[in-house]
Amino acid sequence: MKKALITGVTGQDGSYLAEFLLEKGYEVHGIKRRASSFNTERVDHIFQDPHVQNARFKLHYGDLTDSSNLIRIMKEVEPDEVYNLGAQSHVAVSFEAPEYTADVDAMGTLRLLEAIRFLGFEKKTKFYQASTSELYGEVQEIPQKETTPFHPRSPYAVAKMYAYWIAVNYRESYGIYACNGILFNHESPRRGETFVTRKITRGIANIAQGLESCLYLGNMDALRDWGHAKDYVRMQWMMLQQDNPEDFVIATGKQISVREFVTMSAKEAGITLEFSGEGVDEIATVMGVSGDNASGVKEGDVIVKVDPRYFRPAEVETLLGDPTKAKEKLGWVPEISVEEMCSEMVQADLDKAKQHALLKSSGYNVSFSVE
């Protein structure tokens, strides 16, 4: 039975990858951080009581900032494959916490690779590094492919650039099977609530159900190549099943703007929107309501506004990936379109909003975080 070790197992990708590998018959080990409250919501459904014999999903406390902890876990598990998905993954937050972001995202990658080397696992353990389209930043070529030069635009992207190159360097220096997946944005109902797609689907669902009145966003012109996380974790595994390690761009090859994603999400909830105004004065007004999901809004309501608080010190305006290499060499093609993904996300958030609305209408105090 193959063994995999996943850092970031409690995150969006980690949870889908753990499911995927369990289905493939792997024994899956994940590193979770100590937190003051439970942080395993995304993997609770695959949790296996460690007292049960032959449990194939095991969690270890750990942190990418702690070398000795990583070495100890790696020694205990002896993984065939390591998926380094753990990161401070929020671009805007990286401007607020640049040093921590560098420690986790850049040095954390080095610590894992050093653990492989320290334990003499160079020929045993394959290594996947969660690289990112943010490396392209100020884009030098459209669309972006494996050979497009990098120009990172945030402390997050700069840290990930170190991680990218240290993975390449350990491949070249020590013969470690190390691969970079240069993944463009990918989303799902499990996406963190402060990334823009989830912020939009959750905000629209709450507004539709009368729980919130307005969604505040930053740069609505930003263009992204959005895919579904399920399609992308499949490719993470495929990259480690080749004879030789290589780096791959994973993307859909299509892009839309944040504004278009808002329109698509609202439509899914039964709300027709019209945008007007420019820059910080841009707003979206309800022009029509259909179906029974959007009882909380009426024609003329302004439900989206711009808040400059969400502008970034340096923005990545446009990203569009070229996944030709992944398609030709590995036969990978994304199966879920952005429309299908958006629909799945809005419906999941509507389900949650309806539960909240029901509690509220029954006299319970309902509160939730908004960012």
Active site annotation includes 299: no
Q: Which amino acid is present at 27?
A: E
Distance CA 16, CA 41 (A): 12
Three-state secondary-structure class, residue 230: helix
Active site annotation includes 174: no
Q: Which of 128, 156, 170, 232 is catalytic?
A: 156
Q: Considering beta carbons, is residue 125 or 236 the nearer one to ligand GDR?
A: 236
Q: Which of 10, 132, 201, 252 is catalytic?
A: 132
Q: Are 251 and 323 in contact (CB under 8 A)?
A: yes
Q: How far is the CB of 102 from ligand GDR (least distance, A)?
A: 14
Helices (H), the chain: 12-23, 67-77, 91-96, 98-101, 108-118, 155-174, 196-208, 229-239, 258-268, 324-330, 338-361
Active site annotation includes 83: no
Binding site for ligand NDP (CB under 6 A): 7-8, 10-14, 31, 33, 35, 39, 63-65, 85-89, 104, 130, 132, 183, 185-186, 192
Q: Which of 134, 187, 268, 344 is catalytic?
A: 134
Q: Considering beta carbons, is residue 148 or 209 the nearer one to ligand NDP?
A: 148
Tell me if 219 contacts ligand GDR by CB under 6 A.
Answer: yes
Q: Considering beta carbons, is residue 19 or 187 the nearer one to ligand GDR?
A: 187
Tell me if 217 contacts ligand GDR by CB under 6 A.
Answer: yes
Give me the 250-289 binding string for ligand GDR, x by CB under 6 A, dash otherwise. --------x-------------------------------
Residue 233: which of 3, 23, 1 has the closest Cα? Answer: 23
Distance CA 40, CA 32 (A): 8
Under DSSP, the state recorded for 243 is S
Is the bond leading into 308 cis (omega within 30 degrees of zero)? no
Tokens linked to 285: 């007004």
Q: How far is the CB of 10 from ligand NDP (least distance, A)?
A: 4
Tell me if 322 contacts ligand GDR by CB under 6 A.
Answer: no
DSSP 91-127: HHHHHHSHHHHIIIIIIHHHHHHHHHHHTT-TTT-EE
Which of ligand GDR, ligand NDP, none interacts with 211 (beta carbon under 5 to 8 A by kind)? Answer: none
Q: How far is the CB of 131 from ligand NDP (least distance, A)?
A: 7
Catalytic residues: 132, 134, 156
Which residues of this chain interact with ligand GDR, rule CB under 6 A? 89, 91-92, 132-134, 184-185, 194-196, 199, 217-219, 222, 224, 258, 310, 312, 315-316
